[in-house]
Amino acid sequence: MDINRANIANLTSLWEHYGAAPLADESTWPFKVNHVWPHRCWHPEPGSLTSMAPLAEARAGVMFPLWPDLHGASLQFPEERELALKHAGWDCVLAQTAMYLPLSVSDYPPTSDKPITSAKLVVRNITRVEEVSSWIEVVNDAFGYRVDARAIAPLLECEQAQLYVGVWAGEVVASALLYYTGEVVGLHQVALKQTHQGQGLAKSMMQDLLRLAVASGAQYMVLQASAAGRPLYENLGFITQFEIRSYSNRA
């Protein structure tokens, strides 16, 4: 398995589940776009694109992610494509690092089916629509954007997705999404309310999520780390793969 391509395949498959459509007409295939949150417009192989012209069809405010040509020998960021985007009026608004971790039962032994309890946090799977609002509240507070419940609620019926909250002292303070594609599990939307950051809760939740992933039988966990989150993932043993930069248009 090519773990680099598996990371992106997991991410783009999740975007599909959020609700995706063709960017415009057949001339823009295979560009796709989310018409609701997370407002991504993407191409499955942006690092190998020879023309960014189809992006002229994208509405203002969407984000287009760019990563290296994963079929090539080098994972160097495609600077020429970035220059083409900037020339067309697209600015970099988000930088992330793709990372992965081989999962080991010895490192994270599975637990029972009961809610996972760490020293400070109880991690609980949410299964009802009325619980989605608390998950969204954490994400909005941590990242400063507005998640659309129309994109999240359908995931409760998706076998590949599992939504989790972290409860501390009776309050929902953390969120996470595990998304499975084959033997890979993607970690997404890991968030902690701003009032509870810096207390070790993020690491506590991560350790429980890793145990859940191991219990599922997954062989690898993949993610896309922000600059703020990367030190935590490195501390847990995640391996750096390549850079992802997302751009928003000024149209």
Closest CA to 206 of 217, 219, 196, 191: 191
Closest CA to 190 of 180, 205, 170, 172: 205
Give 74-115 pLDDT, tens digit per residue.
899 999 999 999 999 999 999 999 999 999 877 776 654 444
Helix (H) or strand (E) holding 202: helix 201-216
Residue 159 has what pLDDT? 95
Q: How far apart are CA 204 and CA 45, in angstroms?
A: 35
What is the DSSP pairing of strand 122-126 with strand 116-117? antiparallel
- pTM flag (> 0.85): yes
pLDDT by residue for the chain (251 residues), tens only, comes to: 999 999 999 999 999 999 999 998 888 889 999 989 999 999 999 999 988 999 999 999 999 999 999 987 789 999 999 999 999 999 999 999 999 999 987 777 665 444 454 557 899 999 999 999 999 999 999 999 899 999 999 999 999 999 999 999 899 999 999 999 999 999 999 999 988 887 888 999 999 999 999 999 999 999 999 999 999 999 999 999 999 999 999 75
Tokens of 83: 């220059």
Q: How far apart are CA 217 and CA 208, in angstroms?
A: 15
- Residue tagged 């594609």 (tokens): 181
- Compute the mean pLDDT over every residue in the chain, rounded to the nearest whole number: 92
Q: How far is CA 80 from CA 66, 87, 146, in A?
A: 11, 11, 32
